[in-house]
Structure 1
Amino acid sequence: MRAIDLLYVYWFFWALILGALVAGAFRGSWEVENGKRNVSWFGLRDRSDTVVWVDPMVFPVAAALYFVLWLYLRTRTEMTSYFISVAIDVFLFITIYFTLLFLLLPLLRKYYTARTCATFWLIPVFLLYQPYLSLPPKIILYFPGDLLNLLICIWLAGFGIIFVGQVISHICFVRNLKQHSLPMTDEALLNKWESMKEQRNISYPISLKYCSVITTPLTVGMWQKMMITYLPEKKFSGEEAELIFSHELWHIQRKDTHTKFFLRFCNALGWIHPFVWFAIKKAEDDLELSCDEAVLRGADSERRKKYAQLLLSIAGDSRGFSTCLSASAKTLRYRLKATVPGKSKRLGLFLLFLVTFLGYLSGGSLALATVRGTIAELSGRDLTKVADATIWEADGESSIMVEDTEELAEYMADLQVEKVLTDYEAAYESDGQYLSCNVTGSEISFSISDDYLVIYDSDRGRDQYHLCTPTDWEYIESLK
């Protein structure tokens, strides 16, 4: 079996494993939340949170590390090309995947639990856990280098403005909350809060405060020691307080402030695509709906009615990377409808597996070429002085010598090729015929397959070019 075939087998099986890990992690989290087990998924370790597999903050942190690494290695052309390729791949996946999920969401919400729908938005986080495989892309698009650089600069500027703006807005919002807040003095509410925290196995301190500038309860804080739950300055009954605390504690256990940060980061990444903005809003709604679902699990009609009345009485918006119990009027109607008992919905384990599996397989499917021209123009070498031209079959054993090297040189002089940003080692192994040649009077050799031309130079190393048109094997074979 060829090396490229082994790579494809590994690629396929890793997709299966990743899909199974995501489905298994979701199932484990669901069982913990429903009291069917006391430890995290697969029983590996005790955890106070019920995050599905990995913290969503991993995604923006990994992106930041990639950016810092690029700044350190930016003088190396091949590394710059690699990082640009990764950034474009992530951008395309986020925009396409979120757009498709946004369009399919009404159908998904109809048949699958709110927790499942909220988890679908986290698929890009799970796809970070994949090895680098140098497999050739399925689609190559040509973008002139100057145009690509301009688009990247516009995209980076938009990302920086939007994301930094979101961070500043969050900091200002949190500061405003602190300036207009007072410690909770109601002993009954404090005791209920601590009791419910203990029931959820949450041992770290979470402050409970009143705030005069909000109309709906919300939680802020990206780190455990800095988390604060704010209540509006309003009198709540014991049952109302229990519903509010239950909702906010589900957010805390699921680290939804981190999920909000991840979603806003994706919003900034895909800012240029209008559907991404709508998709992020729907994703944030799913976080609230999934907590509503958890609060009302097993509730009778009276408790559901009380919860709906509570949502109506404290409707409002959250800002920044915070979570809130109630929503604005735009989304409140759907949430009120969700409080009405209905038919049970599916957990969607197989669909989570399938989406992760297909998402992994779709990675790296598209690549960009930035320059196009003849071989001589792009490589700076004269490859028309051909010697020892041989057509090899895929098995590498049978071959045909090309005798008319002058005609072959003329054919090659007109070949249009393009330089792809990333070098794909697996592309050197053809699954069909390939032509190998030496250049007279030099230590340069090259090979041509259906899609790629690869130059081997003892002085300048190896270069790879994509052929704009498939190789005309019938014509080359006629030169024997």
Structure 2
Amino acid sequence: MNAWLVLFALFVGGVTARAFSGRRELEDQLQYGPLKPGHKTYLIEPLMLPLYILVVLGMGLVVPAVFWMDRRGVFHLVAGQLGLLFLHISAYYALLLLLLPLLRRVISARACAALWLTPTFLYVMTYQPNLQRTALAALPLPRPLLLPALALWALGFVGVVGWQVLSHLSLRRTLLRTGQPLEDPEVLRQWNMECRRHGVKRDIPILVWPQVGTPMTVGCFERTMVLALPRASYSPKERELIFRHELRHIIRCDSRTKVFLGFCAAMCWFNPLGWLACRRAAEDLELSCDEAVLEGADEGTRKEYALLLLNSAGTGRGYTTCLSAAAGSLRYRLKRVMKPGRRLAGSLAVGVSMFALFVTFGSVALADSPASARELIFDRAPQGITLDRVTVDSWHEPEEKYQDVFGYDAGAITEYLVSLPLRQVYAGRYELKEGRQLWLDYMEQADGEDVSRTYIILSDGVLTAGIPYDGQGDLTFLVDGEIDWDYLDSLLDFTVPDPDPPRSRPELQLSFDGPDGNPQDPPLSAMSRVWSITDAQGTRVPDDESFGVGGTFGRTLTKAVLMFSPSPYDGYTVTVERWDGSERYTLSSQELEGDLLPLAPYSAHYTVRGEFAVGDALYDMDFYFDIGQQADQEVWQTG
């Protein structure tokens, strides 16, 4: 497992636990005074994950170049990430359903509700696939079934989301059309007072709606929210309990949490556990508000609240929050109201769940059924490509890193590759395995020029490839069976030299003699500047300067041995300029004994000018260095 992933997950888990604790402490302030206007107490914006996916999909389809892919590649990328989300959220919710009875006895209802919401943080993992862990297994999804399965899933997803949205809009439209504005000044005064106490800045209207059997809040944002009350008579104490319950939903943005839960249900529309999980999550939202409203309440208040629940049982529709939505959960809610018991706050549980979500995301991948590399890679690559470069890594010894091989049997290597059985990974992360790796570049040429590159990297169990014009970015494949490395080794000849060795920049190193000179000292490298390079393509002037040792100072030196690599093409000159610029002279290589340069008795700048042949290129360049003689150190120390 990636150590950075573990550290990142620990950090996110710790921040989440602290944030949950901070939100709980913020709500606890309501026992002593009002919240600051505009403060919300949700753990994270519930719509973050759905909005992120919609934005990425929209950007990718409109401007696919942002992802270095075409529209088909973006679609496959988003579909793959949705597949991972479906698998991960399904497994997480199934485990949470299994543990829920125990969790409800041990931790607070608010913590239980937060546990259903933590998967919205997974947008971080879909945004940074490189943070995902290496998959432990791959579920097979044969290519012929891929598009039909995606189409069926998308049809169900759009249908469920459409039904949810239309149901919510229908409820809201009916409420606004048939509901009557509440005009009782006493009730409005009490409502406005509670709104200010809970930090709600906007005025949320109250409508009386005969068709509703329980108080409910309709709307996902404060500017669109409406509190719907049944046509019933409530005492001031009952109104206080109702208002505080609904306002907890409002400051926690539970309506938007319902949207997120609906998104999860739509994503897992064919999985009954997904629907069951969303119902349990909705129950925990109500339980957490019950718990918050009754914090520190006496037995009489609890009894009154329990009667209010009994008399207000109804049905929640759309993305609404309501006092008592489901008769099926009423018995459990009444039990929690009357016998709350002592439970842990649950901050640690929320942090641990976040850590677990992050470190396990991507444990299961989706992959194609087996096919040959010819079908999956070479038939999709440009026609007429030829093997142009072979590189090996850790071939004979682990410490032997990235070595180019210039002798190889291109036909036999390609023939071996096309026969490999591969499975393309649709979603999930696999890394190249440590140990032997074979890197291959296949080039497409037109008019003698390279126009595209198809690359393949082979390791034990995993192969990656990049196919030009494919529009899907880097591709990952699982290799079924063992790689015959001995056979591949027999196709490589490591003794063949590089037919076109890379150019090495000319260098000048210096060794000094004199009273303070020692030929055994390591040589110094002079700085250099290339003025022009002439080769078959013509003459060009690079903007180039090397960084070497500027010289030597504080010693008495008489001679310098010039060690060129390579030797000058046709002699060279040495210009000597006194440090203060008062004296200047030039020596040619013909005036020197070999490459032994007599040094001036004063501190000076030295410039060596010459031409140097490297392969078919001719470098016109300067080398320069400074000598600060001991005799006039005040000059070079201040100059």
> Normalization by structure 1: what TM-score?
0.86
Check whether the contact 1:292–1:339 (CA below 8 A) recurs between aligned residues: yes
CA shift in 2, pair 1:415/1:346, >3 Å = same
Secondary structure of the structure 2 residue equivalent to 1:308: helix
Counterpart in the other structure of 2:431: 427
Does the residue aligned with 1:421 lie in a helix, a strand or coil? strand
The superposition leaves residues 123-170 of structure 1 with CA deviations (integer Å, 9 ceiling, x where unpaired) of 111222345143653323332222011111011111111110111111
Q: Distance in 2 between matches of 1:440 and 1:66?
A: 33
Residues 386 and 409 in structure 1, CA contact (< 8 A), matched pair in contact too: no
1:109 is aligned to 104
Deviation at 1:26, TM superposition (A): 0.6
> Unmatched 5+ residue regions in structure 2?
446-452, 493-639
1:19 aligns with 2:24: no
Unaligned stretches of 5+ residues in structure 1: none
The residue aligned with 2:478 is 466
Point out the more displaced range, 182-191 or 151-160: 182-191
Q: Which moved more, 1:335-344 or 1:366-375?
A: 366-375
Counterpart of 2:459? Answer: 449
Question: Which residue is 2:79 aligned to?
Answer: 84
Q: Aligned residue for 1:9?
A: 3
Cα deviation per residue 1:274-295 (whole Å; 9 max; x = unaligned)? 1111111111111110000011
Ranked by relative contact order (alpha carbons within 8 Å, sequence separation 6 or more), the top structure is: 1
Give secondary structure in 2 for the equivalent of 1:203.
Answer: coil
Between stretches 262-271 and 380-389, larger displacement belongs to: 380-389
Structure number with larger C-alpha Rg:
2
- What residue in structure 2 maps to residue 160 of structure 1? 158
Counterpart check, 1:217 vs 2:215? yes
Instruction: Judging by fraction of residues, say which structure has more strand.
Output: 2
1:122 aligns with 2:117: yes
Pick the aligned partner of 1:333 from 331, 334, 353.
331
Secondary structure of the residue aligned to 1:157 is helix
Q: Which residue is equivalent to 2:39?
A: 48
Q: Using the alignment, how far apart are the partners of 1:441 and 1:101 within structure 2?
A: 53
Q: What are the within-5 Å matches in structure 2 for residues 404-415 of structure 1? A: 412=417, 414-415=419-420
Q: Deviations over 1:345-387 (max 9, x none)?
A: 0122222111111111222333333363222232227999899
1:314-393 residue pairs with structure 2 within 5 A? 314-370=312-368, 372-380=370-378, 391-393=395-397
Alignment correspondent of 2:609? none
- In structure 2, how many angstroms separate the alpha carbons of the residues matched to 1:99 and 1:262? 17
Percent identical residues: 32
- Secondary structure of 1:318 counterpart: coil
| Deviation of 1:393 (Å) | 4.2
CA 1:462–1:347 in 2, change beyond 3 Å: closer, same or farther? closer
Q: Distance in 2 between matches of 1:458 and 1:320?
A: 47
- The residue that corresponds to 2:512 in the other structure is none
Kindly tell me: are residues 82 and 215 of structure 1, through their superposed partners in 2, closer, same or farther at Cα, counting changes over 3 Å?
Answer: same
1:55-76 per-residue CA deviation (whole Å, 9 max, x = no partner) reads: 2122222222133234323844
Q: Deviations over 1:164-199 (max 9, x none)?
A: 011111111112222332222222211111111222
Change in CA separation of 1:157 and 1:407 when aligned onto 2, cut-off 3 Å: closer
- Equivalent residues in 2 for 1:91-102, closer than 5 Å: 91-102=86-97
**Any idea what the Cα deviations from partners look like across 1:80-117, whole Å, max 9, x if unmatched?**
32122111112212222222212221111111100000
- Which one of 396, 399, 411 corresponds to residue 400 of structure 2? 396
Q: TM-score, normalised by structure 2?
A: 0.66
Q: If each structure's helix is expressed as a fraction of its own residues, which one has the higher value?
A: 1
Over aligned residues, Cα RMSD in angstroms? 3.4
Contact map agreement 1:218 1:229 (CA 8 A) in 2? yes
Spell out, residue by residue over 1:428-450, the C-alpha distance to the aligned partner (whole angstroms, 9 max, x if none).
5x422223467799987644211
Say how many residue pairs are matched.
467
Query: Is the contact made by 1:180 and 1:213 (CA closer than 8 Å) also made in structure 2?
Result: no
SS of residue paired to 2:297: coil
1:118 touches 1:287 (CA, 8 Å); kept in 2?
yes
Question: Is the 2:391–2:402 Cα contact (8 Å) retained in structure 1?
Answer: no
Rounded Cα–Cα distance in structure 2 between residues aligned with 1:323 and 1:313: 17
